[in-house]
Amino acid sequence: MELKKFVDALPIPSFITPKESYQGAPLYEVSMIETLHKFHRDLPKTKVWGYNGQVPGPTFNVEKNQPIYVRWTNHLPLKHFLPVDKTIHGAHHNPEVRTVVHLHGSPSEPDSDGHPEAWFTRNFQQTGPHFMKEIYHYPNTERAANLWYHDHALGITRLNVYAGLAGLYFVRDEQERTLPLPKGKYEVPLMIQDKTFNPDGSLFYPAQPDNPSPNLPYPSIVPSFLGDTITVNGKVWPFLNVEPRKYRFRLLNASNSRTYKFQLSNLRPFYLIGTDGGLLTRPIKVESLDVSPAERIDIVVDFSRLGGQKIVLQDGFELENPTGEIMEFRVSKSLSCPDQSKVPLLLSRIEPLRVNKVRKIRRITLNDSQDEYGRLMLLFDDKEWMDPATETPLLNSIEIWELVNLTPGIHPIHVHLVNFRVLDRYDKDGRLLIPLPADYGLKDTVLVAGGETVRIIMKFQPFSGDYVWHCHRLEHEDHDMMRPLKIIPFHSSNHSNSNRHQTDM
Ligand code: C2O
Ligand code: CU
């Protein structure tokens, strides 16, 4: 249905505060609750699942090296309100409503990482085979960055995230604070998700593909989902009144499958200053940015000479369609104080990873396949989730992964625990491609376009244990485009130099 654009103000999700302390660190309480949420002026309230009943969930704002604990609890109903396909991995014999929280971008211990099989039901009545504890620990040892948390339950992640289970998590540090970037109310988070609404306000999610073949189960997973309506921070096509000055936008693509080409309607350039893993070394002036699901961009937009104007944040891939517009900035306010913010030429330092210390190079294909119902499946090396782990790096070792996309579609590839660097990209004929602007930063999710090969380099630290890596198009992830990542502690290997893990770099 067509909703009027730019009639609701952009909400800013509130910060969460800890209620008590636990083992010497702040303990936060977050409970998943079914509630009603107002997405648009003209739309009846929508049933959602929200962390603490909020969509997006409350925002965490933590300091580097100050660990926290979070008790995530599930107070959701026992039945899902979106169509659960019981034929796919994890959904078969398990309770219909399961949840587990992953803090995306965090170097968490394995028992706090939100393994897809560490799920739990309401009041922890039932738990998955990987479940280890109720209270998660986040060490916050990473540099300042824009992380996010979201549901990760095996086989229903696409439905739980679409139902509303996602929120923002900012890590701050001293180095970032010394920079004269726009701060306070001039730093604005934007969580972007596409949705489709039924006329009664309820969320629509397809129960099967448009032209189902006769032997498909019902409901049946779809290979991709694109909503016809764009939401930002839980509002449909909102507007934001801004002053004629610089703003820093912390933008997250939290959509199930949609990749955007973000640009401004006045086609003015803006600055990319950071990526998934925090600030770049230097700002990059850009006119548009391609951002696939789960990627974050940190940008500075200068409205200072645009007083009185309206500028729309657009998706350059969809300019012919309603979804080509995302939100409107109205430079309607007057300057409340002079703008002393700047985009410094040097933003931060990023430690290089040396190619000559690489222990292993893995070549992994992204390929299509079919399941027993003849449905399209997208896989890594033709392997399914339940196949034995093949990505088993040694703790503290450096590896290069060559992600060879044999399919025509985009796959945002996410590796848990680590930040990686993008080394290079090639087209299907092996020709070197121009890097994307985001390739200059620290990444945990990389856009791999159809036919491309992208090489990433990373060091597997600081923990060993069971993690995962996967495509972040949630319809792909739920249908086996996810694999175990088993990081092997040093002592169980037969490597000869026993101090290697301490001296290496
Ligand atoms: Cu954002 Cu494994 O996920
Ligand atoms: Cu994919």
Ligand 1 atom at minimum distance from 468 CA: 2
Domain boundary at 330, 345, 372, which? 330
Instruction: Say if 7 falls within a structural domain.
Output: no
Per-residue pLDDT of the chain (505 residues; tens, 9 = 90+): 689 999 999 999 999 999 999 999 999 999 999 999 999 999 999 999 999 999 999 999 999 999 999 999 999 999 999 999 999 998 888 999 999 999 999 999 999 999 999 999 999 999 999 999 999 999 999 999 999 999 999 999 999 999 999 999 999 999 999 999 999 999 999 999 999 999 999 999 999 998 888 889 999 999 999 999 999 999 999 999 999 999 999 999 999 999 999 999 999 999 999 999 999 999 999 999 999 999 999 999 999 999 999 999 999 999 999 999 999 999 999 999 999 999 999 999 998 888 889 999 999 999 999 999 999 999 999 999 999 999 999 999 999 999 999 999 999 999 999 999 999 999 999 999 999 999 999 999 999 999 999 999 999 999 999 999 999 999 999 999 999 999 999 765 444 444 434 333 3
The pTM for the full model equals: 0.96
* Residue 95 · residue 153 · CB < 8 Å: no
Nearest to 421 by CA among 236, 275, 260: 275
Do 146 and 203 fall within a single domain?
Answer: no
Q: How far is the CA of 466 from the centre of ligand 1 (A)?
A: 14
Do 96 and 124 fall within a single domain?
Answer: yes
Instruction: Say if 347 falls within a structural domain.
Output: no
Ligand 1 close to Cβ of residue 416 (< 6 A): yes
Sign of CA dihedral 263, 274, 59, 16: negative
- The residue type of 260 is Y
Do 216 and 325 fall within a single domain?
Answer: yes
Instruction: Say if 234 falls within a structural domain.
Output: yes
Ligand 1 close to Cβ of residue 152 (< 6 A): yes
Which ligand is located closest to the Cα atom of residue 467?
A: 1
Do 64 and 91 fall within a single domain?
Answer: yes
Ligand 1 atom at minimum distance from 477 CA: 2
* Burial of 20: CB neighbours in 10 Å, binned 0-12, 13-18, 19+: exposed
Instruction: Say if 3 falls within a structural domain.
Output: no
Instruction: Say if 211 falls within a structural domain.
Output: yes
Distance CA 61, CA 13 (A): 12
Ligand 1 close to Cβ of residue 102 (< 6 A): yes
Do 168 and 24 fall within a single domain?
Answer: yes
pLDDT at 2: 82
Ligand 1 close to Cβ of residue 294 (< 6 A): yes
Ligand 1 close to Cβ of residue 296 (< 6 A): no
Specify the CATH number for the domain of residue 435: 2.60.40.420
Domain boundary at 143, 173, 203, which? 173
Nearest to 291 by CA among 406, 405, 410: 410
Do 287 and 265 fall within a single domain?
Answer: yes
Q: What is the DSSP letter of 443?
A: B
Number of domains making up the chain: 3
pLDDT at 491: 65
pLDDT at 1: 65
Reading across the β-sheet that carries 145-151, which strands appear in turn?
60-63, 166-172, 145-151, 101-104
pLDDT at 496: 44
Biggest CA-to-CA distance, the chain: 68
Instruction: Say if 8 falls within a structural domain.
Output: no
Instruction: Say if 12 falls within a structural domain.
Output: no
The shares of helix, strand and coil residues in the chain, as percent rounded to the nearest 5, are 10, 40, 50
Judge if the upstream peptide bond of residue 11 is cis by omega within 30 degrees of 0.
no
Do 469 and 435 fall within a single domain?
Answer: yes
Q: How far is the CA of 407 from the centre of ligand 2 (A)?
A: 9
- Provide the 10 A C-beta neighbour count for residue 337: 7
Q: How far is the CA of 443 from the centre of ligand 1 (A)?
A: 13
Ligand 1 atom at minimum distance from 105 CA: 1
Do 315 and 222 fall within a single domain?
Answer: yes
Tokens standing for residue 58: 């409350």
Q: How far is the CA of 473 from the centre of ligand 1 (A)?
A: 10
Domain boundary at 133, 149, 173, which? 173
Tokens standing for residue 459: 């060091």
Q: How far is the CA of 359 from the centre of ligand 2 (A)?
A: 27
pLDDT at 352: 87
Do 152 and 201 fall within a single domain?
Answer: no
Which ligand is located closest to the Cα atom of residue 116?
A: 1
Distance CA 222, CA 124 (A): 30
The domain of 235 spans: 184-330
Which ligand is located closest to the Cα atom of residue 376?
A: 2
Do 212 and 157 fall within a single domain?
Answer: no
Do 168 and 94 fall within a single domain?
Answer: yes
Ligand 1 close to Cβ of residue 470 (< 6 A): yes
Do 315 and 190 fall within a single domain?
Answer: yes
Residue located nearest, by CA, to atom 1 of ligand 1: 104
Ligand 1 close to Cβ of residue 115 (< 6 A): no
Instruction: Say if 337 falls within a structural domain.
Output: no
